[in-house]
Amino acid sequence: MKRVVVAMSGGVDSSVAACLLKEQGCEVIGVTMRTWGKGEDDRCNRCCGAADVEDARRVAQQIGIPFYAVNLNEQFEREVVRYFCEEYERGRTPNPCILCNEKVKFGALLRKALDLKADLLSTGHYARLVLDEGSGRYLLKKGIDPRKDQSYVLFSLTQEQLRLSLFPLGEYRKEEVRRKALQMGLRVHDKAESQEVCFIQGPSYHSFLSQRLIDSIGPGPIIDKDGTILGRHKGIPFYTVGQRRGLGLAKGKPLYVIGIDRERNAIIAGEERETYSETFIVDSLNWILPQDMNQSFPAQVKIRYKHPGSEALLHPKGEGEVEVKFRTPQKAVTPGQAAVFYDGDVVLGGGWIKEVRSSE
């Protein structure tokens, strides 16, 4: 019998994952990460707050499995929150979910699971794992529900992390998961989805960054590509490529953020057509299915979680970098975001967008 630790967030997905594994005959242990909030009075809408821990505990009690809450505040602050702030400070747009998966969930929490003598760590991610008999490597594939597929945020996992992982929901659609939760009488069957950046309370991250980066946020010029000053911005961390709202410019036509110049503390604005790019550099690569780095090769490339992916040609540029060239220019290719490479449903690998070149 496999002993499986399930990372239970208190939501419907991880709750159903625990149920499915118990039905399959696994010895299941529920564990919730406390990653944010200093006390049990934490009532805000953050993932893994006090209310979420209690929801997870009640589900574990209902289905008859042991349950533990582990405090990973320190690791989360160091690996995720600090990264989030530093990237915005650099004029880049971070993806904290990817770092949380890599460093905290499949890092610190996986180590806790192994301490409990578990064979595997399971989560409620909508993704699939397949062992490729030919290469002996674990392949990461998209979940069958295209609206919920989360393979993008798992691209940076190592072979060892994948070997020790389990994704029971990869073969399910979201509506099937909610239906199963209802049939089992789980109290979280209709619980709302958690927000994307779990440690940000409210609709905007501006106040959070203002507190964290109080000494490094300052106003500066908004300029066009020729350097003409169009207005003033409130601070580089408050802007991202492709953004239209919040520029405060009245120029008779819509203007968008098309670039951020950290050295000059400047936001570069332009028309919507100028937000499109076809060529960019990706570094800090992680290959789930290694490629021949001596020649170019095609792939579908996603440049953010909700991006549908687009056909591109990848040109290796030496150790740890590739140049990606889309067949069709894509909107808001953003430094700091992940670019993930696919061959159909299979994740080849990915990295982080380092530099973007204009399509003009």
Query: Which of 186, 204, 38, 43 has its CA nearest to residue 124?
Result: 186
Contact of 275 with 258, CB cutoff 8 Å: yes
| Main-chain dihedrals φ then ψ at residue 206, nearest 5 degrees | -60, -45
- Can you read off the two tokens belonging to residue 145? 């529900």
Catalytic (active site) residue 44:
no
Distance CA 79, CA 62 (A): 33
- Can you read off the two tokens belonging to residue 11? 């939501």
Catalytic (active site) residue 198:
yes
Distance CA 94, CA 229 (A): 27
Contact of 121 with 113, CB cutoff 8 Å: yes
DSSP summary character for residue 273 = G
- Can you read off the two tokens belonging to residue 352? 């982080």
Catalytic residue among 47, 85, 97, 100: 100
Query: Which of 75, 104, 110 has its CA nearest to residue 4?
Result: 110
DSSP summary character for residue 345 = T
Contact of 176 with 187, CB cutoff 8 Å: no
- Can you read off the two tokens belonging to residue 295? 């020649």
Whole-Å CA distances, 57 to 9, 29, 33, 37, 192? 10, 11, 12, 18, 18
Contact of 140 with 288, CB cutoff 8 Å: yes
- In DSSP notation, 168-223 reads GGGG--HHHHHHHHHHTT-TTTTPPPPPSSTT--SS-SHHHHHHHTTTT---EEEE
Provide the annotated active-site residues.
100, 198
